[in-house]
Amino acid sequence: MKKNVLLVFVFLFTTGIFTAKADEGMWLPLLIKRLNGVDLKKHGLHLTPEEIYSVNHASLKDAVVALGGGFCTGEIISDQGLMLTNHHCGFDAIQQNSTPEHDYLRDGFWAMNKQQEIPIPDLTVWFLDRMDDVTAQVLAGVTDDMTNEERAILVEKNIEAIIAKEKENGAKQKIQIKDFYNGNEYYMFKYNIFEDVRLVGAPPSSIGKFGGDTDNWMWPRHTGDFSMFRVYAGKDNAPAPYSAENKPYVPKHHLPVSLDGVGEGDFAMIIGYPGSTDRYLTSYGVKEAVEIEQPARVKVRRMKLDIMEEGMNKSQKVRIQYASKHAHVSNYWKYFLGQSQQLVKNHVYDKKKAIEDDFTKWANADETRKKKYGKALPLIEDFYSSNQAYVLPQVYFGEAIMRGPEVLGFAFKNFNPRTKLNKALQEGNKEAIAEAKQEILANADTYFKDYNTDIDKKLLAAMLKVYYDDIDKEFHPKALKKYYNKYNGDFNKLANDYFATSPFTSKEKLEKWLEDVTLEEINKDLAYDLTNSFIEMYYGKIAMPQQSSVDKIDEGKRLFIDGLRKMNPDKAYAPDANSTMRVTYGNVLSYEPKDGVIYKYYTTLKGVIEKDAHTTDKDDEFYVPQKLKDLYYSKDYGQYAEDGEIHVAFLSNNDITGGNSGSPVINAYGQLIGTAFDGNWEAMSGDIFFEPNIQRTISCDIRYVLFIIDKYAGAKHLVDEMTLVKNKPKKVMKRRKKQLKKLVKNGLYH
């Protein structure tokens, strides 16, 4: 009888009849024990909080790293410093080392020994040493009677004093102090930063980016989104600049790799460095995002993508040059497109308004509360009202100008009044002038390697035109008006004429121009003139007028968040993401995106074959390499299959955002089961309002990663480095049945 009941029990879960309660929150690991220790156990965790985060002993936090300070996350998976992250996180490094002759983007790259690993000069890996609550020290002397400006000055002074004291006491790590809950709390973070990082392996984009823009943010997903690096250390296993003498870093802890796979309801924990969320955004902010800001970003980014793609489709060289640039623009083009749609579909404005109505009633119910918190929402509303005129020009300034044509950024970056060359020319210091010129030329190689004049010329014409057409003339800089009149509004002619003589289209032209360059020539260059004029306009007509209203929203948000937490003292509110280490936990789970549709929690290699474009074009989003097809049809899966199938990706209801890309997905026993790489389309509004019924994290199953490394790439030596854990199938099934019972008992499924 028990056996029959259990079979029915498992059937119900695996057919999606039950849904799980997802828990919002990207939690500081320092606070896990106090805030979430009991809840973690209810979800199925078998570790103690100290095994997740500890200052005195090796813990999971010692195996999780921030790439470049937080643009992505990685995890250490061997005692030789081997690091796993997403393919799209390693994309820049792969692209920078690709050429038409050695196209690692298209063909993949695998170092068959450590001597073949490729140093990546600009990539750093940050290990968190410890975090501490320094709220009392940072807010020492702060009073409610202070203006926002007075408060900010004192807070900054206190932060500087804390860091100075740490340095005096011998701290050698990178120290950051960041605010939480919009300035209501502060925490200090100490990092050991490793500079010697080398590319070890990456699958071809046909695996690592399978599905491309079409599948981005979508489920079902079949992307092998991973790449591998190795962290190297100097003497005493300490951080050191690149040297051939460096040795692989020996970590305090590396993650064991589970071959047991995942089942519906399994515990799943993600530790990583989420970049930014805005969960305390008010209804006023939602309205502005949906109606003004995000449609503008989507429009301008789509224009840039169309121009890039036109050039990339003509040449393999150009495709490689612009692969990374295109990926950066494209990812958040689709993100903003999806977020604006889902904010409306998920009725986020109404949900925010309901919270604000409750807050107002609570604040007004007590005179003391009313005096302190009653002004919070009016301050926020006033900001959005007074700021509305600046939203479009601010978005277009950023998207079309500062992140538009590269020639504008290059001109200003290298020749503005604060640069070494400009200062030397002003002073007439010949030695300094010569030195500054050499520095510019030394950096020019990297710039021109990935530069195409035809694409940039079209970008210049298109971005100037869209700014001129869409933005009120009040925000047109003097130079834009001047060149519009000179060319009778023909920005294509402007771009053609400028690029015919521009010194910024090749290193040879730049070198010749620099020989006798003067301040007068710099100032009259069209690219420099335009950028300088745009920046003057921005500070004079946008940034400075906004300052008083920015102070209002800073104060309003700080009071609003503080009030919310006091209004609901029994609720644990997670702070917004800010590129610091966070823990999110939940369970592997299917979901129902709409009526009549159920998405199961995993995909398999069969789905890759079903999506096959049947093309020889390796750049097609759904091109499947022949070797991968051969492995599928021969069922040559090795030890990585489950029930005769290779699992590719899986879902969990963890709470993540950008920056979590590459984060380890860890099971109840502290073992690696996958690598997180995306969210789902139906919950694209999740950075602003968490949707517990549909919020999902998409992760690459670690067994697919191992299968590609071993069977596809023939790099089994990398798998041999890892600590693999595999239990007998009967033990795994027993665990899963016990876990399902536990979730139901704890009321986490209904």
Catalytic residue, from 23, 196, 225, 456: name it. 225
The H-assigned helical ranges of 416-525 are: 420-427, 430-449, 453-470, 478-486, 491-501, 507-515, 519-524
225 is catalytic: yes
Distance of alpha carbon 314 from alpha carbon 318, whole angstroms: 8
Cα dihedral across residues 206, 209, 213, 217: positive or negative: positive
Q: Which residues contact 380 (CB under 8 A, 6 or more apart)?
A: 282, 284, 285, 552, 553, 556, 557, 560
CB atoms within 10 A of CB 258: 22
133 counts as catalytic:
no
C-beta neighbour count of 446 within 10 angstroms: 12
Which of 88, 222, 253, 476 is labelled catalytic? 88
* DSSP element (H, E) containing 318: helix 316-345
CB atoms under 10 Å from CB of 152, counted, come to: 16
Cβ atoms of 295 and 340 closer than 8 Å: yes
Give me the DSSP letters along 324-371.
Answer: HHHHHHHHHHHHHHHHHHHHHHTTHHHHHHHHHHHHHHHHHTSHHHHH
Say how many residues make up the chain.
Answer: 750
SS (H, E, C) 662-727: CCEEECCCCCEEEEEEEECHHHHHHHCCCCCCCCCEEEEEHHHHHHHHHHHCCCHHHHHHCCEECC
* Token pair in block for residue 323: 């692969």
User: Which among 709, 704, 650, 645 is positioned nearest to 677, based on CA atoms?
Assistant: 650
Contact 552, 381 (CB under 8 A): no
Tokens for 297?
A: 């970003």
**Comparing C-alpha atoms, which of 651, 713, 702, 717 is closest to residue 226?**
702
Cα gap 573→181, rounded to integer Å:
9
Q: Is the peptide bond before 220 cis (omega within 30 degrees of 0)?
A: yes
**Pair of tokens at residue 650:** 């899986």
- With the C-alpha atoms ordered 492, 496, 498, 502, is the resulting torsion angle positive or negative? positive
Residue type at position 540: G
Catalytic residue from among 78, 652, 661, 685? 661
Active-site residue set: 88, 225, 661
